[in-house]
Amino acid sequence: MDLGSVAVIALVAGLAGGAVGAALVGTVEGMLRQRQIARGSVTYPSLAAFRSTRTYRAMDQPQGDPPFNDFNDRAKRVLALAQDEAQRFNHSYIGPEHLLLGLSREADGVAARTLESLGATLLKLRGAAESVIGRGETAVGSIGFSETTKSVISKARYEARKLGHSHIGTEHLLLGLVRGGGIPMALLRALEIEPDRVRDEVIAAMGEPHPEPTLDH
């Protein structure tokens, strides 16, 4: 297995609680990132470009029952964006609040469209996060999913099963965050957005004629 595959597995499939070294983080970022400045945030490549990367192939490898083989492309990319947000705040973990910011950054996803329709833009959510949780004092070189984030991912899978869906999209991750409560909902309430309203809007959005693609599209 090459270093790229190891880096991705250590970073994104770290649900067992392992940490990721700075060198591996740099490797993953080098594979993922084509930085463009757009409305004050980093824009990632198109989904078609993302599918062609080693990162995507490592996430979707068939051997060993990988933990994210039920995630669609956008949901997979949100995990990388959440890690980027945690580093932006100098946090030593990927928490549900970072997952919320990652969802907001995946602009074409159901979750981001829902959040923006409610007035929860990326800049506003980052501002709320700055006020509620603040920044770490120094940059960290090791990072992994918090136990709360692992629980949110489990809740997202529950939401997908309840809806009869075979894949996990950004909409299910947002529903998992709503079900999990905690800091992400505190950020939304800081913007005068109630969790029940978020859930209602997500369910309504899934009834629109252009849902997120499945794993095969």
Q: Is residue 215 pLDDT above 60, yes or no?
A: no
Q: What is the rounded CA–CA span in Å between residue 150 and residue 67? A: 11
The conformation of residue 168, written as its DSSP 8-state character, comes to: B
Q: Is 71 helix (H, G, I), strand (E, B) or coil?
A: strand
pTM above 0.75, yes or no: no
Length of the chain: 217
Q: Say if residues 112 and 103 touch (Cβ distance below 8 Å).
A: yes
Cα–Cα distance for residue pair 121/118, rounded to 1 Å: 8
Report the range out of 42-46, 137-141, 158-162 with the highest average pLDDT: 158-162
Residue 145 bridge partners (DSSP): 94
The gap from C-alpha 93 to its chain's centroid, in whole angstroms, comes to: 13
Q: What pLDDT does 8 receive?
A: 41
**52: number of Cβ within 10 Å:** 12
Q: Is residue 102 a contact partner of residue 79, using CB atoms and an 8 Å limit?
A: yes
pLDDT per residue over 64-86, tens digit each? 334 788 999 999 999 999 999 99
Q: How far apart are the first and last CA of the chain?
A: 27
Query: Which residues, other chains included, contact 48 with Cβ-Cβ below 8 Å and sequence gap of 6+?
Result: none
Q: How many Cβ atoms from other residues are within 10 Å of residue 137's Cβ?
A: 7
Contact by Cβ (8 Å): 74, 169: yes
Check residue 208 and give left, alpha or beta (phi > 0: left; psi -120 to 50: alpha).
beta
Task: Select from 25, 27, 31, 59 the least CA-distant residue to 45.
Answer: 31
Residue owning tokens 């039920």:
70
Rounded to the nearest 10 degrees, the angle between the axes of helix 96-105 and helix 183-190 is: 50
pLDDT band at 202 (very low <50, low <70, confident <90, very high): very high
Position 131 pLDDT exceeds 50? yes
**Superfamily (CATH H level) for 3-205:** Clp, N-terminal domain (1.10.1780.10)
Which three-class secondary structure state does DSSP give residue 20?
strand
Q: Is residue 98's pLDDT more than 60?
A: yes
pLDDT at 20: 42
pLDDT digits (tens, 9 = 90+) for 151-176: 999 999 999 999 999 999 999 999 99
| Separation between Cα atoms, residue 86 and residue 63, nearest integer Å | 29
Which of 164, 162, 88 minimizes the C-alpha distance to 129?
A: 88
Structure tokens at 26: 């740099």
Is residue 107 predicted with pLDDT exceeding 60?
yes
